[in-house]
Amino acid sequence: MARQLDEQIVGRYPVGQRLRVLDVGMGQGTQALRLARAGHKVTGLEQDPKMLAAAREALAAEPEGIRERVRLIEGDGQDTGVHFLPGSFDVVLCHGVLMYVEEPDPLLAGLARMLAPGGLLSLLVRNGDALALRPGLQADWTTALAAFDTVAYTNRLGLKVRADRLAALTATLAGIGAPLHNWYGVRVFTDTAADDAPVPQDLDALLAVEERAGKTDPYRGVAALLHLCGVRG
């Protein structure tokens, strides 16, 4: 996904331009710190105190120049209007958040308002059109059969969450003034790997295959996750 995001940024902005980035629901700050290391000014918004503490700890270990480019705020992604002025950011990330939001449209509309004209909105969501794939490959036929008729599922943490369908999100993005520019699949071949699986020796080859599949039909359509990139008009 990081490679996909970089591809979109490089395609939209001049090389070397320092971007204003908002990472909503940043978790432990993996993407926020990666983009700060690339020279961008990053604001991370996270409501989970444990995740925020982990992000602050990771940031503290970075060189001073990188620390100066990162601002961390405790807050809910649905309250962006409380913290920021409209049009304050060139790039807004919302990765792995929508599955926990029962009604995502107001959140998405708020994120779009944060974008400057031409700004990039990057969403990572669970693919509602492929919910049956993982249980099917694991021979869990009962769960697979039920998955065809719902966007609700139980994640690996045991939480009941929701997925999003590409067609519905495409319509939503158009309605909030940040129409879909491109989309990718994430975890096409690796979704059934155990969380504690060791890093394979052929990691470079694995990443190359996943990257190619993530932008190629029909493979990207059955990925576990979808990475959607909208552009503010």
pLDDT beyond 90 at 217 = yes
Tell me the per-residue pLDDT of 63-89, one tens digit each, with 9 for 90 and over: 999 999 999 999 999 889 999 999 999
Average pLDDT over residues 22-33: 97
- Report the chain's terminal Cα–Cα distance, integer Å: 24
pLDDT at 194: 84
**Per-residue pLDDT, 195:** 81
CB 34 within 8 A of CB 27: no
pLDDT for the residue numbered 70: 98
Name the average pLDDT for the chain: 96
pLDDT at position 218: 97
Statement: residue 1 has pLDDT above 90: yes
When pLDDT is cut at 50, 70 and 90, the band that residue 180 belongs to is very high
pLDDT at 136 exceeding the cut of 90: yes
Output the six-digit token pair for 196. 């504690």
- What pLDDT, on a 0 to 100 scale, did the predictor assign at position 196? 84
pLDDT of residue 160: 95
For 20-45, what is the HEC assignment? EEEEECCCCCHHHHHHHHCCCEEEEE
Taking the mean position of all CA atoms in its chain, how far away is CA 52?
17
Under 8 Å between Cβ of 184 and 125:
no
Predicted local distance difference test score (pLDDT) of residue 181? 97
pLDDT of 125 reads 98
Judge whether residue 156 has pLDDT over 90: no
pLDDT (tens digit per residue) in 119-129 = 999 999 999 99
